[in-house]
Amino acid sequence: MINNPAINWFESWFDSPFYHILYSNRDKDEAEIFIQNLLNRLHLPQGSKVLDLACGKGRHSCYLHERGYDVIGVDLSECNIQYCKQFENETLAFYEHDMRKILRTNYFDAVLNLFTSFGYFESDHENELVVQAAAKSLKNGGYFVLDFFNAHKALRDLQAEEIKNIDGIEFHIHKKVERDFIVKDIKFESEGKQYSFHEEVRTLHLEDLQNFLIKSELSLLDYYGDYDLNPFTKENSTRLIIVARKL
């Protein structure tokens, strides 16, 4: 199975069950620890309205709801949202939505974009649209959290080839840097069929993300280097987690 080139890579790959198999190491416990650390930092009152931007299969949304928040999760993947619908109730809802567009204006107390759900688009303008839409979705005083990878470390430590065996599938992953993107070509066989997917994420650094915040009139409060919210260091941190506020 080869992807249709007329479809954006993220539309086909994120809608595939194989995406969730390959990244199954992103487990529920890890997500809950990270969310709890964020909540301890943000001090959001229970009942606050939270937008989980690019929610995937809803692990963050569901945990936020368990902690007493009014949560909406959105994702471009129809399959992800169909899966998430089983968890819906009066204070937890899921919608298929493009994060470059505003869902609701001046509505949320916090917008969270987690686990590198950003930097997929070809142009800076499209990536800026995501931050702008998040900013316009926030109430004054609301928080925007962007969890991205540390591009400096990722580029330095990039492995050209990698093989992962997960759930009986041998994923062959080829990585390269092209046009300021880290590009992955992912090939594997499942039940006698050959599959090929493509993934690319822009190598955005702290300065780039700060520029997006400034253009969207968001004020940078803090930035961290891992899910325990330790200080960010360019050389050693695995993540770049930004906390900003709409003033």
How much is the pLDDT for 27? 65
SS3 of the chain: the string is CECCCCCCHHHHHCCCHHHHHHCCCCCHHHHHHHHHHHHHHHCCCCCCEEEEECCCCCHHHHHHHHCCCEEEEEECCHHHHHHHHHHCECCEEEEECCCCCCCCCCCEEEEEECCCCCCCCCCHHHHHHHHHHHHHHEEEEEEEEEEEECHHHHHHCCCCEEEEEECCEEEEEEEEEECCEEEEEEEEEECCEEEEEEEEEECCCHHHHHHHHHHCCEEEEEEECCCCCCECCCCCCCEEEEEEEEC
65 vs 9, residue with greater confidence: 65
Kindly report, residue by residue over 185-196, the tens digit of the pLDDT.
999 999 999 999
| Partner residues linked to 239 by β-bridges | 149
Q: Decide if 180 contacts 147 (C-beta within 8 A).
A: no
- Average pLDDT, stretch 109-132? 94
- For the chain, what are the domain ranges? 9-151+205-246, 154-200
**Distance from C-alpha of 198 to C-alpha of 188, rounded to nearest angstrom:** 12
How much is the pLDDT for 1? 41
- Average pLDDT, stretch 76-99? 96
122 vs 239, residue with greater confidence: 239
In words, the CATH class of domain 9-151+205-246 is alpha beta
Residue 246: count other Cβ atoms within 10 Å of its Cβ.
Answer: 21
Mean pLDDT, the chain, rounded, equals 93
**Distance from C-alpha of 192 to C-alpha of 102, rounded to nearest angstrom:** 42
Model confidence at 59: pLDDT above 70 = yes
How much is the pLDDT for 31? 82
How much is the pLDDT for 7? 60
The listed range with the strongest mean pLDDT (16-20, 30-34, 126-130) is 126-130
Closest CA to 130 of 105, 95, 99: 99
Please, which pLDDT band fits residue 116 given cuts at 50, 70 and 90?
Answer: very high
Kindly report, residue by residue over 122-142, the tens digit of the pLDDT.
899 999 999 999 999 999 999
How much is the pLDDT for 30? 79
pTM of the model: 0.92
* Token pair recorded at residue 160: 């050209």
